[in-house]
Amino acid sequence: DDKLLSGPLSHPDYFNVKELFSLKDLFDARVHLGHKKGCRHRFMEPYIFGCRLDQDIIDLDQTMQHLQLALNFTAHIAYRKGIILFVSRKRQFCHLVETTARECGEYAHTRYWQGGLFTNAHIQFGSGVRLPDLLIFLSSLNNVFEPHVAIRDAAKMNIPTVGVVDTNCNPCLITYPIPGNDDSPSAMELYCKLFRMTITRAKDKRRQNEAFEELR
Amino acid sequence: QTLRLTYTTTVVRTKNVGASGPEKYTEAFIKKQIEEFNLGKRHLANMMGEDPETFTQEDIDRAIAYLFPSGLFDKQARPMMKHPTEIFPEQRKIQWGEDGRPFHFLFYTGKQSYYSLMHETYEKLLNVQKYQDQLTGQDLPPQKEKRNLAGSRWLTKIELEEMLLEKLSDDDYSRFIQLLEKLMMMPCSDIEEKYIQKFSKEVPVQLQKIAIEPLKYDERGVAFSTGEGTRKTARATAIVYDNGTGKMTVNGIDILHYFPVLQDREQLLFPFQFLDRVGKHDTVCTVSGGGRSAQAGAIRLASAKALRSFVTEKEVEFMRQAGLLTVDPRVKERKKPGQEGVRRKFTWKKR
């Protein structure tokens, strides 16, 4: 059991997430497009490549690195049978996110976030509930363009977060931010595909390793 | 620093756990209870000397009442042995497995059944849109079958709550109904007809055709028909005969003597006048209760109801629209305490 858990930690990219995406894929899915200059958040300035005709362009090299770290992290969490919760408050992609979560066998929350879901969990759900071990934000703002409450709540409950941050978002409290576009359908479909593939890969790897251990 | 001796009770020392709502039962627990119940039923049957196979719930109740007699007044406080599904209310059992992972993928939203319902309905909507796009791609026009909108209604909020076993807010409910309406309005929504029917109910058509009674014939061969009418506290029955001269008798007395006031006789005349059959019918009425005007109104209604059998359906509809067939709901309003009369308040004095 110890070998099962410590095996993946020795490699920097045990699940080989680098091969799942390339710079060209990100560019074709319009991940580099940000909002206008006026919407820019101060803390996103290091991730922005430049500004063309008032529209911010996100640096895809940095995005690649952040995406690789984030996918690696989710793969490790899924390998250790952690609960992953997909969060997005974009009404356009609510259905897409929920279907992705269902196909992975993980959980989703794309609806109105009730106040004490994490902080008051024992009363909301019942005693003995297990909270998610990872939160994935496919859009870190809510419908009023403010940072989603779940970011702050996850930080309070010591739950690590992975989040796609656009040029108008605050990347502060997110553990693994991924600077990228969160408004285009192509970009969202790309993210959903990537997360789904990493999680299924990690779970398959886990089943394989468990089978190996049993054979011994 | 001083040592302070504080006295506390055991009640105070227990952790302040918030109210966790009604206790939730696991499926395994309920199954075990059902097994124990069945075993206990057989034991009880053996004890009473009856056949365990044909031991019904009523037999169980009688046996328990015999073995454990109780003088308590509240029936629900007495010892009872019922099937576990009746005792443990149908409610959400614990939503997660042994390893802590919840069963439903929308568990962390809080309202899992409602949101999964919205998710499914939206999926059906997307399916319909895709099908429509396919049809337009093949240049086939989308068919629209006329659905009977008048005969069905959506489930009420309470019925939906019962279906989902979850509390809903008015906002949630209205959003769901809006989604369903949108789905129904689409041209090609026939594919999802089954799904929509789960949430719609048949409404019995309001305008139920009240069966008009056929004419009866008495010994002389004359057609007649009866009708009943009420107004305030008066109750009247009228028998209208065909081939008559327009004579009307009330409680054996002619109307001229029974109703000296013109207004009352006008009321009696109205149904016949409306149908242009003034001198053609004889009427024999009985009336009791009420006052002068109430009795007149009651007889009017009774004779109008009787006349329905003599007349075409169109004219019946005309009578209904004229208000001849509607029971007048006005009754005497009660006097309220703190007021002098029905509406009159006591004189208001400034000081």
Query: Alpha helix (H) ranges present in A7-147?
Result: 23-28, 60-79, 94-104, 121-124
* Chain A residue numbers touching B18 (CB-CB < 8 A): 122-123
Whole-angstrom Cα distance, residue A175 to residue A162?
6
A114 vs B95, B110, B119: nearest CB: B110
Whether residue B15 has pLDDT greater than 60:
no
Of B5 and B122, more confident: B122
* Residue B307, domain member (yes or no): yes
Q: How do residues B43-57 score in pLDDT, each as one tens digit?
A: 999 988 988 888 889
Whole-angstrom Cα distance, residue B93 to residue B76?
24
Res. A143 pLDDT band, cuts 50 70 90: very high
Whether residue A168 has pLDDT greater than 60:
yes
The token duo for A19 is 């091969």
User: What's residue B149's pLDDT?
Assistant: 65
B197 shares its domain with B226: no
Domain boundaries defined on chain A: 21-113+130-215
Per the rule left: phi > 0, alpha: psi between -120 and 50, beta: everything else, B334 is beta
Query: How many domains are contained in chain B?
Result: 3
* Residue B225, domain member (yes or no): yes
Whether residue A128 has pLDDT greater than 90:
no
Res. A135 pLDDT band, cuts 50 70 90: very high
Whether residue A36 has pLDDT greater than 90:
yes
The arithmetic mean of pLDDT across residues B318-333, rounded, is 91
In this structure, of A116-125, A170-179, A200-209, the range with the lowest mean pLDDT score is: A116-125
Whole-angstrom Cα distance, residue A35 to residue A183?
9
User: What's residue B87's pLDDT?
Assistant: 83
* Chain B residue numbers touching A108 (CB-CB < 8 A): 105-106
Q: What CATH number was assigned to the domain covering residues A21-113+130-215?
A: 3.40.50.10490
* Residue B195, domain member (yes or no): yes
User: What's residue B18's pLDDT?
Assistant: 54
Q: How far is CA B327 from CA B230, B231, B234, B235, B286, in A?
A: 7, 7, 12, 12, 18
Whole-angstrom Cα distance, residue A199 to residue A201?
5
A117–B17 CB contact, under 8 Å: no
A111 vs B101, B109, B123: nearest CB: B109
- Reduce the DSSP state of residue B151 to 3 states and report it: coil
Q: How do residues B91-148 score in pLDDT, each as one tens digit?
A: 666 788 888 899 999 999 989 999 999 999 999 999 999 998 988 888 877 676 666 6
Nearest chain B residue to A97, by CA: B119
ipTM above 0.90, yes or no: yes
Q: Which of B188, B206, B204 is nearest to B196 (CA)?
A: B188
In this structure, of A13-22, A79-88, B32-41, B179-188, the range with the lowest mean pLDDT score is: B179-188
User: What's residue B300's pLDDT?
Assistant: 95
Mean pLDDT across chain B: 86
Q: How do residues B233-278 score in pLDDT, each as one tens digit?
A: 999 999 999 888 888 999 999 999 999 999 999 999 999 999 998 8
User: What's residue B75's pLDDT?
Assistant: 87
Whole-angstrom Cα distance, residue A175 to residue A155?
9
B222 shares its domain with B318: yes
B81 shares its domain with B174: no
User: What's residue B98's pLDDT?
Assistant: 81
The arithmetic mean of pLDDT across residues B151-179, rounded, is 91
User: What's residue B220's pLDDT?
Assistant: 85
Whether residue B6 has pLDDT greater than 80:
no
Amino acid residing at B250 = V
Distance from A112 to chain B by nearest Cα, in Å?
A: 8
Res. A96 pLDDT band, cuts 50 70 90: very high
Res. B4 pLDDT band, cuts 50 70 90: low
A108 vs B95, B100, B106: nearest CB: B106
For chain B, give the percent of residues with pLDDT over 90: 50
The arithmetic mean of pLDDT across residues B201-227, rounded, is 80
How many Cβ atoms sit within 10 Å of the Cβ of residue B212?
Answer: 14
User: What's residue B43's pLDDT?
Assistant: 92
B108–A111 CB contact, under 8 Å: no
Q: How do residues B82-100 score in pLDDT, each as one tens digit?
A: 998 888 876 666 788 888 8
Residues 6+ apart with CB under 8 A from A9: A76
Please answer whether residues A71 and A17 qualify as being in contact, where contact means their C-beta atoms are separated by less than 8 angstroms: yes
Q: Which domain holds residue B306?
A: 216-322
* Chain B residue numbers touching A105 (CB-CB < 8 A): 105
Whole-angstrom Cα distance, residue B307 to residue B284?
13
Residue B123 burial class via C-beta count within 10 angstroms: exposed 0-12, middle 13-18, buried 19 and up: middle
Mean pLDDT across chain A: 93
Per the rule left: phi > 0, alpha: psi between -120 and 50, beta: everything else, A132 is beta
Whether residue A24 has pLDDT greater than 80:
yes
What sign does the CA torsion over B83, B84, B88, B92 have? negative
Whole-angstrom Cα distance, residue B189 to residue B172?
23
* Residue B31, domain member (yes or no): yes
User: What's residue B3's pLDDT?
Assistant: 67
A117–B108 CB contact, under 8 Å: yes
What sign does the CA torsion over B274, B279, B282, B283 have? positive
Res. B27 pLDDT band, cuts 50 70 90: confident
Order across the sheet with A161-165: list the strands.
A107-109, A84-88, A134-139, A161-165, A176-179
Please answer whether residues A56 and A167 qualify as being in contact, where contact means their C-beta atoms are separated by less than 8 angstroms: yes
Q: How far is CA B336 from CA B81, B232, B332, B339, in A?
A: 49, 20, 12, 6
* Residue B184, domain member (yes or no): yes
User: What's residue B92's pLDDT?
Assistant: 61
In this structure, of A192-201, B22-31, B295-304, B341-350, the range with the lowest mean pLDDT score is: B22-31
Ranges A12-16, A69-73, B191-195, B241-245, most confident: A69-73
Distance from A136 to chain B by nearest Cα, in Å?
A: 13
* Residue B3, domain member (yes or no): no
Residues 6+ apart with CB under 8 A from A131: A83, A118, A121, A157, A159
- Mutation site for B-interface testing, chosen from A106, A107, A153 by largest number of B Cβ within 10 Å: A107
* Residue B312, domain member (yes or no): yes
Of B19 and A112, more confident: A112
Residue B48 burial class via C-beta count within 10 angstroms: exposed 0-12, middle 13-18, buried 19 and up: middle
B94 vs A95, A111, A126: nearest CB: A126
B106–A117 CB contact, under 8 Å: no
Nearest chain A residue to B24, by CA: A126
Q: Biggest alpha carbon distance in chain B?
A: 117
Whether residue A127 has pLDDT greater than 90:
no
Nearest chain A residue to B114, by CA: A111
Please answer whether residues A108 and A158 qualify as being in contact, where contact means their C-beta atoms are separated by less than 8 angstroms: no
Q: Across the A/B interface, how many CB contacts are shorter than 8 Å? A: 60
- The terminus-to-terminus CA distance of chain A in angstroms comes to 12
B96–A102 CB contact, under 8 Å: no
B128 shares its domain with B78: no
Whole-angstrom Cα distance, residue A130 to residue B26?
16
Whether residue B17 has pLDDT greater than 70:
no
* Chain B residue numbers touching A127 (CB-CB < 8 A): 17, 20
Q: What are phi and psi of B214, to 5 degrees?
A: -75, 160
B106–A98 CB contact, under 8 Å: yes
